[in-house]
Structures are given as structure tokens and as C-alpha cells.
């Protein structure tokens, strides 16, 4: 699963660190044990990251208020689950999922979670009865949430937070871990939907945007059509 979760769907390689220490180096499965969430990083390191990349995380109280303001206004629950959201510069993705307070690290119990995906998975839990139905709609919920981030360790944590959130709600409903094939599918979706991009260029960090000499824009997937396209097309009104 880790291999999939480290994949970059634009470059076909692994996501890269994209920080001061490791630059364009890819993150390997072995590196993952070195990754700490921001709340566990040394104060000096936190300060440096704030200076380098404006890294400041949002506490769940604020995510809750803002998510209530923007939450999808759909009458039927299926349309609600499918409504798409993107957390720009997502850090560890606290607007999508809130397994812990991103500022203090305090764990948050399932009923108190405030992320947009948390809200959707609660609706799926209430509206479905069979395992098959739950799984179908829970995966659709994961397909509906997107995020991008520059720094590879944050992106990895965002991906892992979404993955673990899916497992948390599955365990709450069915009292066990999801089977491998389901986890595989979820990991696959996550590797597309949470992507590594420099929001200022639309390209992977430190990569050239397309020009005479090559370069690339980040690709994302629309799960309703199965098509992939350049993220930048969205900004151009596509
Ligand atoms: C203020 S934090 C917000 C993180 C998260 N959305 C939250 O609310 O807790 C900004 C995030 O943007 C990322 N970032 C900085 N410059 C970026 C860029 N050019 N493109 C994409 N992400 C960037 C940083 O790494 C950091 O994680």
C-alpha cells in the first residue's frame, strides 16, 4: 500500500521531499519512518518551515466553522457525497480529515471530527445498510476530495490521514479492518487526488512548466468520467 501512497501520478515516480534538506530527492518507503507531523517537529524546524513555505496549520475549531460555511448544499445524500472539494496548499489536510488537531497533535474521536470527508463518511454511515453499499459510497466520498501541497512530507501525511480515516470509519461500522482489495482501491484514489504541485506554476515542485524545452503540468483525474487532465485547465475555466 505504501508504494501506491508514495506515487506521483504526474511524474510516474515517487513524490519528492521538496524541502530545504532534501530538495528533489524522492521519498522512499524507508524514508517514511523519518516523517513527523508538524506538531512533533522541533520548534526551530517549525519556525524555519513557516519562513520558507508559510507553513502554519489550522486548528479544528476553525476548520469546523469554515467547513460548515462551505459544505455542499445538496438535498439528496448521494449528490452530497459526490460534491467535489479541493483543499489548496493542504499541508496535512485538516480541512478534509481531522484525526488529530494539526496544531497540538491531540487525537480527535470519530464523532467530533470536522473534515469535509469526515462529514461525508458520517452521511454514508447513516444512509447505507449493506457492506457493499457502504463501501461503494465511501469510496465515492474519497474520490470527491482533492488537495495539493508543495512539501512532500506534508503531502505524505495528508495522504496517510485520508487513508487512515477511511479505515477508521470502516472499523466503526464493521468492527474490522477493510480487506486488501478495498484498501488498494482507496490508496489508488488517494495517490491521484492528493497531489504534489507548486500552486504558483501548476507543475511539480522545482519542475519547469511546459515550454520550448519540455516541462510538465500536474495531472488530475475526474472520477466521474475516468479522464485525466491538467489541473491548470480548471483555472482556465475548463
Ligand atoms: C498556511 S499552511 C496551510 C496548511 C493547511 N491547509 C492548513 O490549513 O492547516 C500552507 C501550506 O502551503 C504549502 N505551500 C507553500 N507554498 C506552496 C506552493 N507554492 N504551492 C503549494 N503549496 C505550498 C506549505 O508547505 C504549507 O503546508
Q: How far apart are CA 172 and CA 11, in angstroms?
A: 36
Atom of ligand 1 nearest to the CA of 92: 5
| Residue in 153, 135, 131, 201 with CA at minimum distance from that of residue 22 | 153
Of 128 and 235, the one with more pLDDT: 128
Q: For residue 238, what pLDDT is reported?
A: 64
**Parallel/antiparallel/unpaired status of strands 145-149 and 85-87:** parallel
Domain ranges of the chain: 2-235
Ligand 1, residues 58, 149, 158: which to mutate, most atoms within 8 A of Cβ?
A: 149
Query: What pLDDT does 49 receive?
Result: 94
Q: What is the pLDDT of residue 194?
A: 98
- Mean pLDDT computed over 167-172: 98
Listed in sequence order, the residues at least 6 apart from 160 whose beta carbon sits closer than 8 Å to its beta carbon are 5
Predicted confidence at residue 162, as pLDDT, reads 98
- pLDDT in the model for residue 109: 98
Q: Is the pLDDT of residue 118 over 80?
A: yes
Coil vs helix vs strand at 230: strand
CA of 93 to the centre of ligand 1 (A): 10
Does the structure show a pLDDT above 70 at 181? yes
Residue 217 Cα to ligand 1 middle (Å): 19
Ligand 1 centroid – CA 53 distance (Å): 7
| Mean pLDDT across 170-174 | 97
* Ligand 1 pocket at CB < 6 A: 53-58, 87, 89-91, 94, 102, 149-151, 154, 198-200
State residue 51's pLDDT score. 94
Output the average pLDDT for the chain. Answer: 96
Q: Ligand 1 centre from 101 Cα, in Å?
A: 17
Range of weakest confidence among 2-6, 57-61, 205-209, 229-233: 205-209
Distance 92 CA to ligand 1 centre (A): 9
| Local confidence band at 235 (pLDDT 50, 70, 90 cut-offs) | confident
Q: Quote the pLDDT of residue 210.
A: 87
Over residues 74-94, mean pLDDT = 95
Amino acid at each position: 500500500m505504501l508504494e501506491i501512497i508514495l506515487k506521483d501520478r504526474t511524474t510516474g515516480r515517487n513524490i519528492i521531499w521538496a524541502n530545504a534538506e532534501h530538495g528533489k530527492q524522492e521519498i522512499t518507503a524507508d524514508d517514511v519512518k523519518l516523517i513527523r507531523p508538524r506538531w512533533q517537529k522541533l520548534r526551530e524546524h517549525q519556525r524555519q518551515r513557516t519562513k520558507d513555505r508559510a507553513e502554519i496549520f489550522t486548528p479544528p475549531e476553525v476548520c469546523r466553522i469554515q467547513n460548515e460555511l462551505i459544505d455542499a448544499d445538496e438535498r439528496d445524500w448521494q449528490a452530497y457525497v459526490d460534491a467535489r472539494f479541493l483543499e489548496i496548499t493542504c499541508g496535512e489536510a485538516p480541512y478534509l480529515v481531522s484525526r488529530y488537531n494539526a496544531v497540538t497533535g491531540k487525537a480527535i474521536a470519530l464523532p467530533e471530527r470536522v473534515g469535509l470527508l469526515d462529514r461525508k463518511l458520517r452521511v454514508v454511515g447513516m444512509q447505507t445498510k449493506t457492506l457493499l453499499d457502504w463501501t461503494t459510497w465511501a469510496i465515492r466520498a474519497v474520490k470527491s476530495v482533492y488537495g495539493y501541497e508543495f512539501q512532500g512530507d506534508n503531502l505524505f501525511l495528508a495522504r496517510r490521514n485520508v487513508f487512515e480515516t477511511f479505515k477508521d470509519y470502516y472499523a466503526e461500522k464493521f468492527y474490522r479492518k477493510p480487506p486488501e482489495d478495498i484498501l488498494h482501491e482507496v490508496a489508488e484514489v488517494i495517490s491521484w487526488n492528493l497531489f504534489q504541485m507548486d500552486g504558483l506554476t501548476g507543475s511539480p515542485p522545482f519542475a519547469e512548466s511546459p515550454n520550448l524545452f519540455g516541462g510538465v503540468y500536474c495531472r488530475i483525474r475526474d472520477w466521474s468520467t475516468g479522464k485525466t487532465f491538467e489541473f491548470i485547465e480548471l483555472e482556465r475555466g475548463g
